[in-house]
């Protein structure tokens, strides 16, 4: 892997002679000193104002060396962490530590990345993915994920947050890697090992707000603005006075994850909370800079947005008025499927219901593409016309849709196993990039609840009250687990031994077979076929006819039909006419998956499909490749 030309210039930069260049943008600070806490340079050293950059304070201190702890002393006597600290070994309130970003010896020189269309994303939370809750413990699970068939691991945010238990969206030291997970070298070992297993790494980053505890940025500069409001905290100042250095703060952060940690993709949290009325939106600038760094390091790096705006401008090229991001989450798929299989219709689910909505989500990633939304009380979204389907990420569960339930129940505790199998097949056979939330693949039944470990009692009580108020519109009552209680965190840790017994083992086998078929047949991936969706809402069935792209030499000659019965009784599903006879590839009702193993075979142009069963059929030159669930 080629080294990039870009290097981080803010914070503590180790120089070849062992001295350290300290550089901090702090227009709010009258004066600054740096206290080095150990080694030959231990003591207090003044910083000088830069003549080139307004508000920048800097100095070079000799004989500091790697591993020295330091803090900036403000005029009021407070000793605060570096806003661009690479490591906070004692947490958000402690000193920062000097890190040599070039000390780690990478072994991924041969890694060239993978195309976005080949992404099968597995989202995990480092703290609850294993009992140890560390990067190194997660490394031991990578062979299992590779065998499963996922191709990309998405880490929920790892920037330093308060305490040791948090989802990560309360991070306050954006450049520091969470100390309880394993710090900077722990993350590098994880990325290196993932690449060795052929897995890309997606890092979840939060640029719409910062957490409240340990957030000392006000002491340094105008990082925040009162012009806008977010649901999670003060809005970041991306378009007001002195915003250039604030923009640099987050754009440098994105660059540093790519260059220093070799990540393959950034998932931008809730970009609808990033407000910028300037001529060049922050998202446009950030995407351009990430892509520029990707060219320097010689591998693709993609930028994926989470957004509830249903706005195709995020993905459209700049010359068409867009921001040129690579992909975005599309929650309409999840909402439509969730309402269909659970019957829940409160909160934002009021906008969804019935098979028509699911079929719409398969035809167009935005179900709401300009239609009236009852939940919002206005028209919502715009069509994604012309945008390839591999640029949309969909899920049947993710951290938000599980953890933002009152008690964090997973789909496995809300529906029967046969429903789980059918919805899993719908996800993995959809024309989009699928995201699997950790534990989905075997039907984990432990909840994923919201947890924190703040040290401020007032803040803890505010979070408790906020959670109760958030769930009022869903009618979930007051039975909300205490997010500060360690037991809330502990009960959210995966219990992977469940995967060894039925029905969990059957669901796991289904995931493996579906992902094997997807990997081996390009027509089952977003870029390898055109998809025609047919459905009958009254009868409860949907079909997806996947036809290889004409003229694509890599697409293969087979076409596929995915058929789904989302009702409780057998239905006769029509098959597309013409061509060779259809052959069965896989049925979710197979005994190996925990089903009833009922005989399913196409006949006379129709398919008799039992209730809550999905089947995959194939015809053409490649017919005959089957999963273990073939009849």
pLDDT at site 2: 45
If one compares 343 and 5, the residue with the highest pLDDT of the two is: 343
- Cα separation, 19 vs 26, whole angstroms: 22
CB–CB of 561/575 below 8 Å? yes
Lowest mean pLDDT among 44-58, 163-177, 364-378, 460-474: 460-474
Rounded to the nearest angstrom, the gap between the alpha carbon of residue 491 and the centroid of all alpha carbons in its chain is 22
Distance CA 71, CA 77 (A): 11
pLDDT tens-place string over residues 284-334: 999 999 999 999 999 999 999 999 999 999 999 999 999 999 999 999 999
Listed in sequence order, the residues at least 6 apart from 404 whose beta carbon sits closer than 8 Å to its beta carbon are: 450, 470
Q: Give SS3 for 146.
A: helix
pLDDT of residue 368: 96
Mean pLDDT for all residues in the chain: 94
Work out whether strand 583-587 and strand 613-619 pair parallel, antiparallel, or are unpaired: antiparallel
| Residue 165: pLDDT over 90 | yes
- 5 in active site: no
Residue 5 has a pLDDT of 80
* pLDDT higher than threshold 70 for residue 626: no
Write down the catalytic residue from 118, 123, 204, 306. 306
Which residues share a beta bridge with 614? 564
Q: Position of tokens 């693949």?
A: 441
Please tell me the distance from the alpha carbon of residue 223 to that of residue 72, in angstroms, as a whole number: 18
Report residue 367 as tokens.
């179900």
Tokens coding 138: 């997660």
Query: Tokens 């006075």 belong to which residue?
Result: 241
Q: Give pLDDT, residue 630.
A: 63
Which has the minimum average pLDDT: 148-152, 346-350, 362-366? 346-350
**Direct distance between the N- and C-terminal alpha carbons of the chain, in angstroms, rounded to an integer:** 46
Residue 471: the pLDDT is 67
| pLDDT(625) > 50 | no
Give the Cα separation of 616 and 620 in Å (integer): 14
Of the pLDDT bands very low, low, confident and very high (cuts 50, 70, 90), residue 477 is low
Question: Using 50, 70 and 90 to split pLDDT, how confident is the model at 464?
Answer: confident
For 407-421, how does the pLDDT look when each residue is reduced to its tens digit (9 = 90+)? 999 999 999 999 999
List the catalytic residue out of 264, 269, 276, 331: 269
- Specify the range with the lowest mean pLDDT, choosing from 162-171, 318-327, 431-440, 573-582: 573-582
> Which domains occur in the chain, in start order?
11-97 (2.60.40.10), 116-500 (3.20.20.80), 527-619 (2.60.40.1180)
Could you give the residue ranges of the DSSP H alpha helices within 456-539?
A: 457-470, 486-490, 504-520
pTM of structure: 0.96
Token pair, residue 541, equals 């069935």
Active-site residue flag, 306? yes
pLDDT band for position 406 (50/70/90)? confident
Q: DSSP for 292-345?
A: HHHHHHTS--EEEE--SS--GGGTS-GGGT----SEEE-HHHHHHHHHHHH---
pLDDT for position 496: 95
pLDDT of residue 473: 61
| Cα gap 185→183, rounded to integer Å | 6
Q: For residue 419, what are the contacts with CB-CB under 8 A and spacing of at least 6?
A: 341, 612
Euclidean distance between CA atoms 167 and 171, whole angstroms: 9
Range in 23-32, 54-63, 470-479, 593-602 the model is least confident about: 470-479
More confident residue, 247 or 6: 247
User: How many residues in total does the chain contain?
Assistant: 631
Mean pLDDT of 529-544: 96
Between CA 424 and CA 370 the distance in angstroms is 29
């Amino acid at each position: 892997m080629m080294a990039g030309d870009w290097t981080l210039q803010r914070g503590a930069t180790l120089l070849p002679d062992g001295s350290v260049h300290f550089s901090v943008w702090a227009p709010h600070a009258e004066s600054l000193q740096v206290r080095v806490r150990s080694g030959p340079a231990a003591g207090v050293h003044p910083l000088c104002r830069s003549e080139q950059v307004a508000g920048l304070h800097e100095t070079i201190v000799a004989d500091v060396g790697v591993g020295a702890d330091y803090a900036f002393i403000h005029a009021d006597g407070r000793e605060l962490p570096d806003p661009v600290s690479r490591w906070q070994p004692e947490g958000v309130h402690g000193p920062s530590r000097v890190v040599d970003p070039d000390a780690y010896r990478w072994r991924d020189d041969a890694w060239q990345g993978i195309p976005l269309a080949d992404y099968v994303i597995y989202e995990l939370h480092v703290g609850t993915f294993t009992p140890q809750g560390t990067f190194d413990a997660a490394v031991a699970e990578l062979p299992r994920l590779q065998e499963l068939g996922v191709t990309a691991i998405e880490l929920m945010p790892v920037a330093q947050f308060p305490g040791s238990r948090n989802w990560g969206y309360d991070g306050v030291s954006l450049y520091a890697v969470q100390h309880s997970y394993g710090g900077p070298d722990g993350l590098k070992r994880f990325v290196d090992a993932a690449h060795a297993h052929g897995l890309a790494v997606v890092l979840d980053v939060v640029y719409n707000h910062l957490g409240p505890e340990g957030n000392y940025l006000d002491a340094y500069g105008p990082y925040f603005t009162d012009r806008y409001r977010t649901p999670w905290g003060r809005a970041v100042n991306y378009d007001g006075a002195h915003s250039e250095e604030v923009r640099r703060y987050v754009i440098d952060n994105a660059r540093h994850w790519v260059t220093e940690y070799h990540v393959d993709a950034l998932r931008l949290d809730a970009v609808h909370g990033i407000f910028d009325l300037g001529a060049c939106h922050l998202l446009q600038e950030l995407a351009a800079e990430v892509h520029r760094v990707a060219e320097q390091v010689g591998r693709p790096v993609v930028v994926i947005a989470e957004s509830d705006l249903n706005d195709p401008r995020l993905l459209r090229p700049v010359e068409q008025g867009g921001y040129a991001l690579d992909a975005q989450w599309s929650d309409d798929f999840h909402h439509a499927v969730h309402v269909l299989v659970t019957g829940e219709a409160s909160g934002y689910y009021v906008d969804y219901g019935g098979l028509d909505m699911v079929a719409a989500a398969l035809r167009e990633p935005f179900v709401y593409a300009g239609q009236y939304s009852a939940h919002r009380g206005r028209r919502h979204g715009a069509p994604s016309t012309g945008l390839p389907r591999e640029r949309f990420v969909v899920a049947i569960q993710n951290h938000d849709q599980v953890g933002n339930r009152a008690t964090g129940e997973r789909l496995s505790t809300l529906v029967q196993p046969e429903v789980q199998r059918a919805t899993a097949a719908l996800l993995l056979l959809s024309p989009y990039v699928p995201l699997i939330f950790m534990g989905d693949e075997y039907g984990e039944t432990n909840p994923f609840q919201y947890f924190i470990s703040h040290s401020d009692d007032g803040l803890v009580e505010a979070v408790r009250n906020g959670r109760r108020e958030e769930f009022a519109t869903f009618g979930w009552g007051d039975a909300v687990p205490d997010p500060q209680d360690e037991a809330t965190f502990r009960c959210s840790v995966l219990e992977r031994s469940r995967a060894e017994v039925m029905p969990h083992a059957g669901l796991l086998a289904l995931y493996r077979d579906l992902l094997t078929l997807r990997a081996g047949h390009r027509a089952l991936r977003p870029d390898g076929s055109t998809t025609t969706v047919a459905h009958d809402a009254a009868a409860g069935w949907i079909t997806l006819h996947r036809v290889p792209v004409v003229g694509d030499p890599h697409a293969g000659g087979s076409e596929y039909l995915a058929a789904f019965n989302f009702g409780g009784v057998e239905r006769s599903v029509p098959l597309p006419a013409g061509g060779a006879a259809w052959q069965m590839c896989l049925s979710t009702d197979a005994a190996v998956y925990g089903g009833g193993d009922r005989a399913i075979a196409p006949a006379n142009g129709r398919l008799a499909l039992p209730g809550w069963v999905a089947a995959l059929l194939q015809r053409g030159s490649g017919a005959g490749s089957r999963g273990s669930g073939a009849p």
